[in-house]
Structure 1
Amino acid sequence: VALSEKWATKVDDKYRLRLDVSSDAFKIILNGICSGTIVLYNPDTDLLMELMLVSDILLLHGFFDILRSKLDQKKDKNKEWRDEDIVSILKTSYRIPLLQDLYSYCQEIFVEKPSILFDSPAFSSIDEELLLCLLRLDVIYFPEIKILNKLIEWGIANTPGFVTSTDNTYDMSLIGALRSTIENGLPLIRYNNIQYKDYKNLILKYDQIFPMSRPQCQIPRRINSPVEPKIVSSRLAGLIATWIDRKDSNEDPYTVSDTPFLFRHVFRMNDQTTFFQDNHKYYNKSSKRILPTVKCHHGPSIMIMKFKGSEKIIGAYNPINWKQDIEKKVYIPTSESFLFSCDDKYGTNHRLSRVRDFEHAICLENVRPSGNLLKFGEDFVFHYYSSGSIHCDVKNKFYEQPIILKEGYYLIEKWDIFAIGRKDDEPMMVMNKEVNYVNYEIPSKPITKMIESDFFELIATWIKGKDPVNSRYTESNMPYKFTPIFRMNDNSEFHYQNYKYYNKSYAGLFPTTKCHHGPSLMIMKLRTGKIIG
């Protein structure tokens, strides 16, 4: 049998495994190898993880993929695992190269909810290697003194013969054994994060282990409490900062401990808490706390949204200060704006989409009953309705690639906006001269069922006053762009996207003069079938 070099070494003519796994897991797989069939009746997560570990050892990649699929099926209706599943996955996934994405996901959950592992009955039995991996993290939302106590708790459970004393007196040999058990973890504690009174109470119990004065840390302080933005994980917040700074998110992404940016929460849709009172100036007063004002974007900003019916996170970065007097519907060039999306708040399956046509990056768009919203090219456009709903029209035109949702019209369920600034107060980049400019043109073919696209080439020739016989335009040299904005009696999504061009009193029959705020073309079909325009 071929064995992965990570798990086995050959001694003479035999293989010696480097780690222990349960005999049950080996029996299931060995029986399957002998019989050709493996039967699993609703296996628990512990067994699935052990089977994946054995599959990795024996290089059974096909079976490994089946087990991974079964593990994903254990998620609940919100596509999340139970706390005990997270613990089981953490305990094993860190050792399996093919599961590093899964380990990173569970590690992010641990960062935000350390009690999932620390308060689990399985905590005392985790491997020292995993414990040290977690203690090396620069972010754990848990008081440092409690992290130290958990290290001691783990040490006591893994020191043979150690019994907790009620009067805080211990045999010196036991204390020495405990210190030996946790000696690799002690240097990873951020003692500067611990208040001296808490440290003093600790050394009253274990004075043979800890010196009277707190040890000086040679490693940075740990972040023990959440920082903005709280609605996403520290990993995704670090990714956003990495994208803003144009760093490679695969090579060296920022963390919340080393990010050069400050995130300040200014808007949360439908907020009914004191947050609204503290940030009321960022809310559109006419929209019942649904719409933000342009004040949210008086400086670089990040918008994070969740669409109804999807757990996916959608976001957009604006590097422009809109406090300046900028005309509506006029695009402001920038090379730095981007859209992003991911499966969840932990940044799973994230996708970045930078602007590719700098001249059509962002503009301000009017919304009814009053106010303005940012519009990202034609790729991310907002529509507000008097019923109190806000929709986002998602397309793929001026930005690099589509977000992980299909093009379409989505109802926004959650919406948060953060003002962003650099910690060193340096200005944020708006136009990066080192980035290549790509002029991306929207296809000029308009969408209409009344005439063919060739007819538009003829119309363009007439507009230009050229000879339609000898100098007729073609699609390749067309100088005009035709954008449909009104279609009589339309009951499709088109009407909702272009509602401002419809006269509200005539049920979709008449256009408004807004259709002619600039040169326009009208095309009509008579009952006789003839086309006039």
Structure 2
Amino acid sequence: MTTKFYDRLSNDLTQLLENPIDHNVIIEVGEAPINQIFKAHSYILQSRSTYFKKRFNETLFNVKKLKIPNISVKVFNSIIKYIYGGTISLEKLESSIIFDLLIASFELDLDELVEHLQTHLVTNNASWLKLNFAQVIQKSYHKNFEIIQNFCNNIIAKNPDTIFESENLNSLPEDVLISIIKLDDLQLEEDKIWDYVIQWGRARNPNVPANLNEWTSDNFLTLKTTLKNCFPHIRYFNISSEQIIEKFYPYQQLFEPKLWSDINIKLLSHNKPISSTILPPRKIISSNLPTRTIRIPSNIISNEHALEILSWICRKETPYTESNPYEFKLLVRGSRDGFDVKNIYEICDKVSNTVIVLKVEGTGEIIGGYNPLEIRNNINRKYFYSKDSFVFSLKTENLKNSIISRVKDFNRAIYYYSSMQYLDFGSALNLRDNLKAQKNSYYGILNYEKPIHSNEDVFSVEEFEIFKISPLK
């Protein structure tokens, strides 16, 4: 039997890192002014990472000097401790730092750490992954990121509009798009998948005419070349004859002659054999699959946040999880319409059932409130009655669970004072003046059940948005 003294070994090697006797490597990490020098030992680094082994083979000096500007000091500090001591502590790290740590670990060929960090993020930081879905999907489509990819694919398969109706579709790398359209359980009609693939391809070739009738043979050849790796994953023989005529015929020059012939044979005689590969139909969960779901037009909150807010509005005991029965119509966005409270009164005058969300400057907090009443411009110093208003603080990487605080003094639920640029939810959330330029807004505790913030701090915002909430028709 072999006795393994790993704890002592880890501690001794960590001490060697903290007091780098006989070091022969100097690593400059980060970019000035936030950079730092680490002193290390080449034998330890290259025995733990093929990245360093390759780098050291490129350097012939006795003392090797490396620069790694694309990894932050905070991230590399965790990595070097893992390399020396085999330990990693994630409890006090923000989700964004853990994700950066994952990307850096991949770049440094630390496969064991890559797997561990993926599992940790999916298990403990799923909300952050969903909120930052575009960033995650852009950076994580590598063969070593199978755990994160499965997480993303599961979301996309069930909610394809997450990516196909987003502004990020056209910027997806080809391998990411292919991995998505290969999914057997992608809950999207095949003709719509075709539409999105064509949209992606046309976006890659902005010089082709917008009007298809003006296309030349060269235009079709250009698009065919762009999409050649995507086409094998379209399930051509699972599209109705009507959709073939509507969607395929305008683009028939994109098809290889044999495939185009087989599509037409199947169109005319469904049972006649063909030589082209027939992919199986996708596993659609419901035959009544809606053609599209509602995507929240927000730069602050995720669909998950929106469903949580809707659950509070409807006072549901079981929260909404996927199906969104309401529309979020964007009325005001600070970066678009200005940050003065007076703009809220002017744009939203006589509009009821609104939700305001605010991203607090410097902390990343997402706070806000639901106002069922009409917003009233030219009303000065007056409280209004409501039994249904509430304020909230939403779950983020720094807040494990969302907080909702409902009104308890119904007569003092909402306070309007437009000429002074005051808009208050009782005294629980008080919006003042220019929300971005001035740090005059503040949290309170009166008139609502509980505070949504531990301190009655003043704050300014990085961004804010107001939505009109309406049932889908």
Q: Which secondary structure state, in structure 1, belongs to the residue aligned with residue 446 of structure 2?
A: coil
Equivalent AA in structure 2 for residue 321 of structure 1: E
| 1:84 corresponds to 2:103 | yes
Residues in 2 aligned to 1:293 and 1:108: alpha-carbon distance in whole angstroms: 29
Q: CA deviation at 1:378?
A: 1.9
Equivalent AA in structure 2 for residue 100 of structure 1: T
Residues in 2 aligned to 1:107 and 1:387: alpha-carbon distance in whole angstroms: 26
What is the aligned counterpart of 1:101 among 124, 128, 131? 124
**1:389 — aligned with what?**
438
**1:177 — aligned with what?**
none
| 1:67 corresponds to 2:120 | no
Residues in 1 aligned to 2:345 and 2:307: alpha-carbon distance in whole angstroms: 26
Change (3 A) 1:80 1:132: closer
**1:212 — aligned with what?**
237
What is the aligned counterpart of 2:79 among 44, 50, 54? 44
**1:244 — aligned with what?**
313
Q: Which secondary structure state, in structure 2, belongs to the residue aligned with residue 114 of structure 1?
A: helix
Change (3 A) 1:259 1:38: farther
Structure 1 runs not aligned, ≥5 long: 1-28, 52-62, 156-181, 277-282, 425-533
Residues in 2 aligned to 1:233 and 1:306: alpha-carbon distance in whole angstroms: 13
What is the aligned counterpart of 2:407 among 335, 355, 359? 355
Would you say the 8 A contact 2:392–2:403 is kept in 1?
A: yes
Q: Which secondary structure state, in structure 2, belongs to the residue aligned with residue 264 of structure 1?
A: strand
How is 1:430-449 mapped onto 2 (pairs within 5 angstroms)?
Answer: none
Higher relative contact order (CA 8 A, sep 6+): 2
Q: CA deviation at 1:395?
A: 1.0
Q: Which secondary structure state, in structure 2, belongs to the residue aligned with residue 259 of structure 1?
A: coil
Change (3 A) 1:418 1:390: farther
Structure 2 runs not aligned, ≥5 long: 18-76, 199-223, 240-280
**1:414 — aligned with what?**
463
Residues in 2 aligned to 1:38 and 1:351: alpha-carbon distance in whole angstroms: 45
Deviations 1:460-482 (A, max 9, x none): xxxxxxxxxxxxxxxxxxxxxxx
Q: Which secondary structure state, in structure 2, belongs to the residue aligned with residue 186 of structure 1?
A: coil
Q: Which secondary structure state, in structure 2, belongs to the residue aligned with residue 404 of structure 1?
A: coil
**TM score, norm. by length of structure 2:** 0.54
CA-based RMSD = 4.9
Change (3 A) 1:202 1:190: farther
- Matched residue count: 326
Would you say the 8 A contact 2:353–2:468 is kept in 1?
A: yes
Residues in 2 aligned to 1:386 and 1:111: alpha-carbon distance in whole angstroms: 28
| 1:264 corresponds to 2:286 | no
| 1:116 corresponds to 2:114 | no
**1:188 — aligned with what?**
186
Change (3 A) 1:270 1:290: farther
How is 1:141-152 mapped onto 2 (pairs within 5 angstroms)?
Answer: 141-143=162-164, 150=176
**TM score, norm. by length of structure 1:** 0.49
Percentage identity across paired residues of the two chains: 19
Would you say the 8 A contact 1:392–1:410 is kept in 2?
A: yes
Change (3 A) 1:352 1:303: same
**2:71 — aligned with what?**
none
Residues in 1 aligned to 2:390 and 2:435: alpha-carbon distance in whole angstroms: 29
Greater helix share, structure number: 2
Would you say the 8 A contact 1:336–1:354 is kept in 2?
A: yes
**2:44 — aligned with what?**
none
Would you say the 8 A contact 2:296–2:302 is kept in 1?
A: no
Change (3 A) 1:352 1:30: farther
| 1:331 corresponds to 2:380 | no
Q: CA deviation at 1:194?
A: 1.0
Q: Which secondary structure state, in structure 2, belongs to the residue aligned with residue 44 of structure 1?
A: helix
Would you say the 8 A contact 1:239–1:253 is kept in 2?
A: yes
Would you say the 8 A contact 1:308–1:410 is kept in 2?
A: yes
Would you say the 8 A contact 2:378–2:419 is kept in 1?
A: no
| 1:322 corresponds to 2:375 | yes
Deviations 1:28-49 (A, max 9, x none): x96435768486564439969x
Equivalent AA in structure 2 for residue 229 of structure 1: S
Change (3 A) 1:109 1:46: farther
Change (3 A) 1:418 1:127: closer
Q: CA deviation at 1:318?
A: 0.5
**2:320 — aligned with what?**
253
Equivalent AA in structure 2 for residue 352 of structure 1: I
Residues in 1 aligned to 2:81 and 2:178: alpha-carbon distance in whole angstroms: 25
